[in-house]
Amino acid sequence: MRHIKLLFVSVLLACSAGASAQGADSLKAGPEFTPHWFISAHGGAQYTLGEADFGDLLSPTVQLSGGYQFTPWLGARLSVGAWESKGGLCGYGNGGNPGAITYKYNYVAPVVDVMFNLSNAVFGYNPDRVFSLTAFVGGGANIGFGNDEANELASADYSLRYNWTGTKVRAVGRGGLGLDFRLSDRVSLGLEGSANVLSDHYNSKKAGNADWYFNAVAGITIRLGKTRKAARPAAAVTVPVTPVEPPVTEEPAQKPAPEPQPEPVEAVVEEPVRRDVFFKINSSEVRPSEAAKVKELAEYLDNHKTAIIEVTGYADAGTGTRQINERLSARRADAVKRLLVDVHHVDASRIRVSHKGDRVQPFTENDLNRVSICIISN
């Protein structure tokens, strides 16, 4: 147990050093977080609490995980650990000498964890942070099998009152800490320590309290998809200007007013009519609130028989791939055209349709680029 405590203290000290070196960076305006999936693979050692020396109760373990990071500080994962556990029993070894006897058995443990990125929660989101500390807590099942060595000891009259055979499924709960070392936006290396608790029956012995095993593993995590997007531009600061009073001057003697001249008649130039029809993420369906804009365009076209309308579809660069966004922007432009033709009976020859995918971003705010821009010209 003392070795496990030393492991957790070491992880905390390492994270504190990394956080101190990076605290100033977290205060700067930077990229915005994007939710994403991740997978990881770890391997290491397991220590099962028992009646034997620490080294005699160590066994190998592996862990495969897949999860989703919802926010900079909150995530969840499904983790499957497996390999071998050990038990220790006070008895008599070879030659009848008193000592501890160990035995091993196998397990598979699928567990769902809720994960809390303490570095982002305390110091703010910083995608370039080198070290990150994460706490997790979860629960699941431990599927034990291969308990042959304990069965042999039980048949030799060793006291294993909870000895089991075949395959046994028991509830397991756990908590732990993980320390990640960032290599890139997609890849990081990590150390992880966890404490796992089960019923008293796991190690085949009756002790009157829960059974425990502790895992210490190292491995790699790969993040899938985009993990960040460019920061929004800072809002312009308006500086108030104090008006300056003009100097007072004496007015010259008034001259006779000139004969009035006819005012030139300026040509009236009508400004193009524009409406922006916005869409939900990964959607080309025109919502009722946006359909009202299309109706306004149709009414204008009905009153101006020579006017034409240009409909250009776009997609945001913050989500999806170039190919997906190209098709999505085309569907968004076509959706507006269909509404004009099928519902409002606008002549299709007066509608020009184009799309630009995510190659052009008409708005600085990423989400606003899920749009079809409609411009009427006379």
Predicted TM-score (pTM) of the model is 0.55
Task: Give the per-residue pLDDT at 25.
Answer: 43
Conformational region of residue 365, where left means phi above 0, alpha means psi within -120 to 50, and beta covers everything else: beta
Q: Identify the band that residue 101 occupies on the pLDDT scale cut at 50, 70 and 90.
A: confident
Could you tell me which residues come within 8 angstroms of residue 267 by beta carbon, excluding any fewer than 6 positions away?
none
In the predicted model, is pLDDT for residue 253 greater than 70? Answer: no
* DSSP letter assigned to residue 234: P
Assign domain 273-377 to its CATH architecture: 2-Layer Sandwich (3.30)
Q: Identify the band that residue 11 occupies on the pLDDT scale cut at 50, 70 and 90.
A: very low
In the predicted model, is pLDDT for residue 268 greater than 70? Answer: no
Report d(CA 100, CA 56) in Å as an integer.
9
- Percent of residues, the chain, with pLDDT higher than 70: 79
Task: Give the per-residue pLDDT at 4.
Answer: 46
Q: What is the mean pLDDT of residues 133-158?
A: 90
Task: Give the per-residue pLDDT at 362.
Answer: 95
Closest by CA to 204, choosing from 141, 140, 147, is: 147
pLDDT digits (tens, 9 = 90+) for 36-70: 999 999 999 999 998 788 999 999 999 999 999 99
Q: Identify the band that residue 81 occupies on the pLDDT scale cut at 50, 70 and 90.
A: very high
Task: Give the per-residue pLDDT at 282.
Answer: 93
pLDDT digits (tens, 9 = 90+) for 334-368: 999 999 999 999 999 999 999 999 999 999 999 99
As to burial, measured by CB atoms within 10 angstroms (0-12 exposed, 13-18 middle, 19+ buried), residue 199 is: middle
Q: Which of 95-109, 258-272, 273-287 has the lowest mean pLDDT?
A: 258-272
Q: What is the mean pLDDT of residues 259-269?
A: 62
Report d(CA 286, CA 280) in Å as an integer.
9
Cα-Cα-Cα-Cα dihedral of 86, 91, 97, 98, to 10°? 100
Q: What is the mean pLDDT of residues 305-319?
A: 94
CB 62 within 8 A of CB 43: yes
Task: Give the per-residue pLDDT at 215.
Answer: 97
* Measured CA distances, 60 to 44, 106, 146 (Å): 6, 10, 15
What are the boundaries of each domain within the chain? 2-229, 273-377
Task: Give the per-residue pLDDT at 7.
Answer: 45
Q: Identify the band that residue 17 occupies on the pLDDT scale cut at 50, 70 and 90.
A: very low
Residue 86, classed as helix, strand or coil, is strand
Assign domain 2-229 to its CATH architecture: Beta Barrel (2.40)
